Amino acid sequence: MKVIVDEERCVGGGQCVAAAPDVFDQRDDDGVVVLLDPAPPHERAAAVREAAMLCPAAAIVVVDT
């Protein structure tokens, strides 16, 4: 799977970090999402999909590869 984040939409709540901490992080100053792993392994797929659904800004898009 491939993950795309839209930094301009991100509102910095960090729901993605809580759901999948090894795939997402937040910048220190403004809390905007940092994508740690744009191609997460299969075992992370469920957590990443959950993060995309929970994101309150629809800023995470998951593309199946």
Partner 1 sequence: MTSDVLIVGASVGGLTVAEALRRGGHTGRLRLVDPDPHPPYDRPPLSKQVLTGLWPPDRVRLRTPEQLEALDAEWVWGRAERLDAAARTVELDGGRALAYDTLVIATGLVPRRLPGPEPAGAHTLRSLDEALALRHALPDAGRVAVVGAGVLGCEIAAAARTLGREVTLVDPGPVPMARHLGPELGGRVAALHRRHGVRLRLGTAVTGLVGERGRVSGVALADGEVVRADLAVVTIGSVPATAWLENSGLALADGIVCDARCRAAPGVYAVGDVARWPDPVTGVGIRVESRTNATEQALVVAANILGDERVHAPVPYFWSDQYDTKIQVHGRVGGGDRVRYLEGTAADDRFVALTESDGGRTTAAIGWNHPRGARTARAHLTAAPSQP
Q: What residue ranges bind ligand SF4 (CB under 6 A)?
A: 5, 10-16, 24, 26, 33, 55-57, 59-60
Instruction: Return the bridge partners of 25, or none.
Output: 34
Nearest distance, CB of residue 42 and ligand SF4, angstroms? 22
Considering the complex, what minimum distance in angstroms separates the CB of residue 58 from partner 1? 5
Q: Provide the token pair at 12.
A: 């910095």
| Residue 24 DSSP class | E
59 close to 13: Cβ distance less than 8 angstroms:
no
* Positions that interact with partner 1 (CB under 8 A): 9, 11-15, 17-18, 26-28, 30-31, 49-50, 53-54, 56-58
